[in-house]
Amino acid sequence: MMLAENRGIHPVASNGHSPSSEPTPLTRAQMRRLAEFRFQLRKFLHFSSLTADAAGVRAQQYQLLQCIWGMPEELDPTIANVAARMLLKHNSAVELVDRTIEQGLLRRCPDPTDHRRILLRMTPLGEKLLSSLAAWHLRELEETGPELIRALRRVLLTPNGNTQGAENGRPRPAVRREASA
């Protein structure tokens, strides 16, 4: 069996940078908790894929519609912003947008303030499909979300009972309390 370092795998943090030091090896219990969280997450993603397929679109197309509709106010729904928000390469985002336009769910519109840019807008059919799929997803999360949350909480709980630091994913240092006199 090859080790990750022998295969040239170097993890990248969510901020795009490689970690500065090697993480502490996980215990068997931590690994089981992490595997359970991944299982719960995969169950939801599997549900999402099946639901999108039943609606006649691919899961990524549903995610694209959701990304465009839920784009932060400070970002315009351009292909570049969609690619960044969906963690896709630009050409993959273009292909995804093209397939979704072919299905009548999206359209390209010139930006009224900058005619060099193209904005993505949902069609009424796209809005209707998104609304329906989002309602199904919300219902599923209402049913299965508590177990997903429990699994995540178990991952973030360290053996000594401290929770992981949300800001960097590392355990918070223990706070030493002095005995009062």
Read off the pLDDT of residues 50-104 as tens digits, 9 standing for 90 and up: 999 999 999 999 999 999 999 999 999 999 999 999 999 999 999 999 999 999 9
Q: Looking up tokens 């901020």, which residue turns up? A: 15
For the chain, the domains span 52-156
Residue 140: which of 36, 52, 58 has the closest Cα? 52
Q: Does domain 52-156 have CATH number 1.10.10.10?
A: yes
Q: Looking up tokens 């303030």, which residue turns up? A: 113
Total-model pTM: 0.77
User: Does the pLDDT value for residue 158 go beyond 60?
Assistant: yes
At 29 the three-state DSSP class reads helix
